[in-house]
């Protein structure tokens, strides 16, 4: 009983003794090495309990580890009790730690006592303390180079602060072992040095002639003195002395007509000698001012080009070639032109063309199109700077016109002032207000040829310059303007002065050509562009390949191309795609000067490069000339004289064939030699001429007839005079064949001669290429019945013995004469005279017999003409042919043969 009572008392005392919780620090900092698992804590891990020294209640039985913010601390770490009475503990990792995978660990720890007895009943826990563990690095990795081989190139003769930079990395996690402390060049005796950051420089100027390539090895060390696993190789190439500028420039570029587009600078590239640039601009200029009127355009005549482009007809030429019918341009000086057009010069004072009222009366209405070629300044005079840049000098008037519109008069004038073009338009001089349309154009003052097309459909006005549209600025001019007198008139090159002593004002100084006005609806843009757009110019190969940041701009006439970019490589590729194009099959041969101007902007403006202008030239080679061949005719055409006296005459060229071919050289495979080969090509002729040789046609006795329905249907023009027939207009070869086959020669009754010769020739491209000259000799076959009268015979004899030798080529219609296939009488004059004398004797002796035959009636004579095979002994019929004597199967008649050489 006493023992039980004691035990119960002790238990009661113990329960009342475990009154306090264990106590630990609130935060611990720990360090553990990668190759160890014991965590060194600061402060050390001790748990205290105020119930000490009581057994169990004052003792620490253990520690519990809980997850930290990362949620993995309780898995990787554990805490154990080293001394229960003192509460000393130890934190350790359950498995090896890797600093490279996770360098910091955080978790919480809690201590608990032994409770009230050996079974740990009623144990108490401390608060939770945070433990931060840092894993210390071990130098287990060596440096590794980013590249195994480093290459660089430098110009010779200079010292560089850095040629190339090598770089190595270390996989250790700590700064001590992961940082590269220094690099070292392990190849001895090289003129290079390396710093701790891996920058390599040369210690002396390099010479490409002594050694072009330097190769050496470098290594790296981390701060734990571990050397790189593998060394890196460095290759430095020494370039010869660098000269900044364009490399690969070819001064001469050749272009073969028909090649389409060719690159102008296929191997051109810009060398900046390591200078860093941030903007590059290159301007390519193609100068074609000396080619025709500024560039290669269609070589046909203006009328032919208008027809080919589908332009509306009805234009009136205000500056026609001087002639009796158009004498108002006879006082104007003219200049030669390479494209066969007529160029008029105006001096700004007394050179004025006054268009007659008969011409002006056909130009009424407020819908019209005014077109002209213009070049400011004289033939060899450039406008002054003050003039071209717009000083206050008087305006220069190109066209000044007042026309009648129904019951009113409208007035307009086209003028230039500096670099401005203006159209002053007054729809009704008695009522409406005047309006001025103004354009600011560099083309007006650049002293080059430009084509202007002004389409007025009031109040809408459209200006085309070289086929490109320009919008005007509209100005309502309310200033003091003298009213033009309500009188119909038109001046070219100035305007009239009302109530002034001076007759003309605002004189134009420059050149004009092809000034026309067409009343009615305006021309479509496509037609204007077809008429006057350049067929040659600068272009860019493929815009889709244009690099990022690159810009390209081409002016409307395609004579200036500008490239702009900020990357050297992209810029070089773009320059190599600048091309020259010419869409004409027969391009105008000659030289086109080329210029390349470059401007650079560098980050260091003081040392930025300055490149000089490059000059070269493009040579358009002579195209293969087409051979226009006329064949299938003559050289003789012999027909009975009555056929020529019929109402339709005799066709001169019924079997005419026109063939156009190109001859080019080809290599023969067998001998390896060159031979000429001709290929037939489809061509467009623009003119053919039929001309009588010797004396001109006598309009009372003979004429040339043409099928006018065919001519009008094809839109061709024809001039039919006694000296020639000229058919003009751009058309195909087959059309010209049809028209020329319809040309007939007709004689009046009793006007037959012994012979008549004609010459046929054709041309294309405004006479640039001409055909061979086909000569046809027409022979008239006469029966003796038609020559019974001696006076007729003597007249024919006189005509035969004294042929006229007028010049075959007339002024204004000269055609080249490369080939003559005509038959010209030679030394047969004596034989002819003997034969004619013999003929006269025979006629005199038989004149009475001939008259008796004539009295027998028309029956016998008609039978002979129709080719009867009956022989008549009562009469002798003589057929006189001045060319030759032929025997016919159906007639057994004797001929007198006149031999001609």
| Predicted structure pTM score | 0.54
Answer yes or no: are the C-beta atoms of 189 and 216 closer than 8 Å.
no
Q: What is the mean pLDDT of residues 752-756?
A: 77
Transcribe 822-842 into DSSP letters.
-----STHHHHHHHHHHHHHH
pLDDT value at position 856?
45
On average, the pLDDT of the chain sits at 78
Nearest to 486 by CA among 408, 401, 406: 408
Q: Which residues pair with 416 in a beta bridge?
A: 396, 421
Residue 675 half-sphere exposure toward CB, CA atoms < 13 A: 8
Answer yes or no: are the C-beta atoms of 513 and 344 closer than 8 Å.
yes
For residue 234, the SS3 value is strand
Identify the CATH number of the domain defined by range 302-378+395-532: 2.60.120.200
- What is the rounded CA–CA span in Å between residue 656 and residue 325? 36
pLDDT value at position 18?
78
- What is the rounded CA–CA span in Å between residue 598 and residue 270? 10
CATH fold, domain 245-288+534-620, is Immunoglobulin-like (2.60.40)
Selection from 211-220, 417-426, 731-740, 864-873 with the highest mean pLDDT:
211-220
For residue 891, the SS3 value is coil
Range list of β-strands (E), 408-482: 408-417, 420-426, 435-440, 450-457, 460-465, 468-470, 473-475
Element (H, E) at 850: helix 847-855
pLDDT value at position 223?
85
Which residues are within 8 A (CB) of 547 and not within 5 positions of it... i.e. 6 or more apart?
565, 567, 569, 570, 571, 573, 574
- What is the rounded CA–CA span in Å between residue 448 and residue 442? 10
Answer yes or no: are the C-beta atoms of 298 and 305 closer than 8 Å.
yes
In the 3-class helix/strand/coil scheme, how is 26-37 assigned residue by residue?
CEEEEEEECCCC
Per-residue model confidence as pLDDT tens digits over 685-704? 888 999 999 889 988 888 99
Ranges of H-type helices in 156-195: 175-178
How many C-beta atoms surround the C-beta of residue 316 within 10 A? 16
Beta strands 27-33; 129-136: pairing state:
parallel
Q: Would you say residue 671 has pLDDT above 50?
A: no
Token readout for 781 is 């076959």
Sorted by where each begins, the domain ranges of the chain are 27-136, 144-239, 245-288+534-620, 302-378+395-532, 626-662+682-781
Between the alpha carbon of residue 332 and those of residues 137, 185, 263, the distances in Å are: 102, 87, 44
Q: What is the mean pLDDT of residues 59-81?
A: 77
CATH 2.60.40 for domain 626-662+682-781, yes or no, is: yes
Q: Would you say residue 297 has pLDDT above 90?
A: no
Q: What is the mean pLDDT of residues 297-321?
A: 76
Per-residue model confidence as pLDDT tens digits over 643-660? 888 888 999 999 999 998
Q: Which residues pair with 346 in a beta bridge?
A: 510
Q: What is the mean pLDDT of residues 124-136?
A: 88
* Phi, psi for residue 686 in degrees, rounded to 5: -130, 10
For residue 176, the SS3 value is helix
Provide the percentage of residues in the chain whose pLDDT is more than 90.
Answer: 23
Provide the percentage of residues in the chain whose pLDDT is more than 70.
Answer: 77
Beta strands 626-631; 717-720: pairing state:
unpaired
Burial 731-742 (b: 16+ CB within 10 A, else e): bebebbbbbbbb
Same topology between domain 144-239 and domain 245-288+534-620: yes
Token readout for 719 is 């001039």
Cβ contacts of 600-603, under 8 Å, gap ≥ 24: 600/272, 600/277, 600/279, 600/280, 601/277, 601/278, 601/279, 601/280, 602/275, 602/276, 602/277, 602/278, 603/276, 603/277, 603/278
pLDDT value at position 395?
87
pLDDT value at position 872?
39
CATH 1.10.443.10 for domain 144-239, yes or no, is: no
Per-residue model confidence as pLDDT tens digits over 474-526? 776 555 455 677 778 899 999 887 655 557 888 899 999 889 898 887 777 77
Q: Would you say residue 783 has pLDDT above 70?
A: no
Least confident of 109-118, 288-297, 375-384, 717-726: 375-384
Which class would CATH give 27-136?
Answer: mainly beta
pLDDT value at position 580?
94
- Sign of the C-alpha dihedral computed for residues 242, 243, 246 and 251 taken in this order: negative
Q: Which residues pair with 762 in a beta bridge?
A: 688
């Amino acid at each position: 009983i006493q023992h039980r009572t004691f035990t119960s008392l002790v238990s009661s005392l113990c329960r009342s003794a475990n009154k306090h919780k264990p106590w630990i620090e609130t935060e611990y900092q720990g360090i553990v090495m990668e190759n160890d698992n014991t965590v060194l804590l600061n402060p050390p891990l001790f748990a205290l309990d105020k119930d000490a020294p009581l057994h169990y209640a004052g003792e620490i039985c253990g520690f519990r580890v809980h997850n930290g913010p990362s949620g993995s601390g309780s898995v990787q770490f554990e805490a154990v009790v080293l001394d229960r009475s003192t509460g000393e503990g130890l934190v350790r990792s359950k498995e090896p730690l890797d600093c490279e995978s996770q360098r910091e660990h955080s978790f919480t720890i809690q201590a608990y006592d032994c409770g009230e007895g050996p079974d740990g009943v009623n144990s108490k826990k401390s608060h939770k303390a945070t433990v931060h563990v840092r894993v210390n690095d071990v130098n287990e990795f060596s440096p590794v180079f980013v590249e195994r081989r480093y290459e660089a190139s430098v110009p010779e003769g200079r010292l560089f602060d850095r040629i190339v930079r090598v770089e190595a990395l270390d996989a250790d996690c700590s700064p001590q072992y992961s940082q590269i402390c220094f690099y070292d060049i392990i190849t001895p005796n090289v003129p290079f040095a390396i710093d701790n950051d891996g920058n390599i420089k040369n210690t002396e100027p390099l010479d490409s002639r002594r050694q072009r390539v330097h190769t050496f090895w470098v290594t790296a060390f981390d701060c734990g003195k571990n050397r790189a696993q593998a060394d890196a190789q460095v290759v430095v190439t020494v370039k010869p002395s660098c000269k900044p500028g364009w490399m690969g420039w070819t001064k001469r570029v050749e272009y073969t007509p028909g090649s389409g587009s060719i690159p102008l600078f296929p191997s051109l590239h810009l060398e900046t000698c390591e200078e860093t640039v941030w903007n590059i601009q290159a301007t390519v200029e193609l100068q074609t001012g000396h080619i025709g009127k500024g560039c290669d355009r269609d070589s046909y005549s203006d009328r032919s080009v208008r027809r080919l482009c589908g332009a509306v007809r009805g234009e009136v030429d205000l500056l026609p070639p001087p002639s009796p019918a158009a004498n108002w341009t006879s006082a104007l000086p003219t200049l030669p032109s390479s494209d066969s057009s007529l160029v008029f010069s105006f001096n700004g004072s007394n050179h004025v063309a006054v268009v007659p009222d008969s011409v002006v009366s056909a130009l009424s209405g407020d819908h019209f199109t005014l077109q002209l070629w213009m070049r400011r300044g004289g033939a060899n005079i450039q406008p002054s700077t003050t003039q071209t840049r717009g000083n206050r000098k008087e305006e220069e008037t190109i066209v000044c016109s007042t026309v009648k519109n129904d019951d009113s008069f409208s007035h307009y004038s086209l003028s230039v002032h500096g670099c401005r073009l203006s159209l002053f338009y007054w729809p009704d001089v008695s009522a409406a207000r005047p309006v001025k349309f103004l354009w600011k154009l560099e083309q007006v003052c650049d002293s080059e040829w430009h084509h202007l097309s002004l389409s007025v459909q009031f109040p809408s006005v459209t200006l085309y310059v070289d086929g490109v549209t320009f919008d005007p600025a509209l100005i309502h001019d309310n200033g003091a303007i003298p009213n033009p007198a309500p009188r119909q008139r038109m001046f070219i090159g100035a305007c009239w002065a009302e109530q002034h002593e001076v007759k003309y004002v605002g004189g134009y100084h420059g050149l004009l050509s092809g000034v026309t006005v067409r009343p009615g609806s305006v021309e479509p843009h496509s037609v204007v562009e077809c008429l006057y757009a350049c067929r040659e110019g600068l272009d860019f190969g493929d815009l889709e390949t244009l690099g990022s940041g690159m810009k390209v701009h081409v002016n409307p006439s395609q004579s200036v191309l500008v490239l702009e970019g900020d990357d050297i490589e992209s810029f070089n590729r773009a320059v190599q795609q600048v091309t020259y194009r010419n869409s004409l099959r027969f391009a105008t041969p000659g030289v086109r000067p080329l210029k390349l101007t470059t401007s650079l902007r560098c980050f260091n403006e003081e040392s930025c490069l300055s490149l000089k202008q490059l000059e070269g030239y493009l040579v358009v080679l002579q195209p293969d000339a087409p051979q226009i061949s006329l064949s299938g005719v003559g050289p003789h055409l012999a027909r009975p004289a009555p056929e020529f006296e019929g109402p339709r005459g005799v066709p001169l060229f019924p079997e005419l064939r026109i063939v156009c071919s190109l001859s080019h050289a080809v290599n023969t495979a067998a001998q390896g030699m060159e031979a000429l080969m001709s290929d037939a090509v489809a061509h467009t002729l623009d003119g053919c001429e039929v001309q009588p040789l010797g004396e001109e046609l006598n309009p009372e006795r003979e004429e040339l007839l043409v099928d006018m329905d065919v001519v009008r249907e094809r839109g061709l023009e024809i001039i039919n005079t006694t000296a020639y027939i000229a058919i003009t207009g751009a058309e195909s070869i087959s059309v010209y064949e049809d028209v020329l086959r319809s040309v007939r020669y007709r004689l009046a009754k009793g006007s037959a001669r012994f012979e008549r010769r004609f010459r046929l020739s054709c041309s294309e491209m405004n006479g640039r290429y001409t055909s061979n000259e086909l000569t046809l000799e027409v022979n008239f076959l006469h029966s003796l019945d038609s020559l019974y009268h001696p006076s007729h015979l003597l007249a024919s004899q006189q005509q035969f013995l004294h042929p006229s030798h007028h010049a075959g080529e007339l002024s204004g219609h000269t055609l080249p004469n490369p080939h003559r296939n005509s038959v010209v009488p030679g030394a047969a004059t004596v034989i002819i005279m003997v034969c004619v004398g013999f003929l006269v004797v025979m006629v005199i002796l038989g004149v009475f017999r001939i008259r008796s035959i004539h009295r027998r009636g028309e029956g016998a004579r008609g039978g002979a003409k129709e080719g009867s095979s009956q022989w008549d002994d009562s009469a002798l019929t003589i057929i006189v042919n001045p060319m030759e004597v032929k025997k016919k199967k159906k007639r057994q008649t004797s001929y007198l043969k006149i031999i001609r050489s």
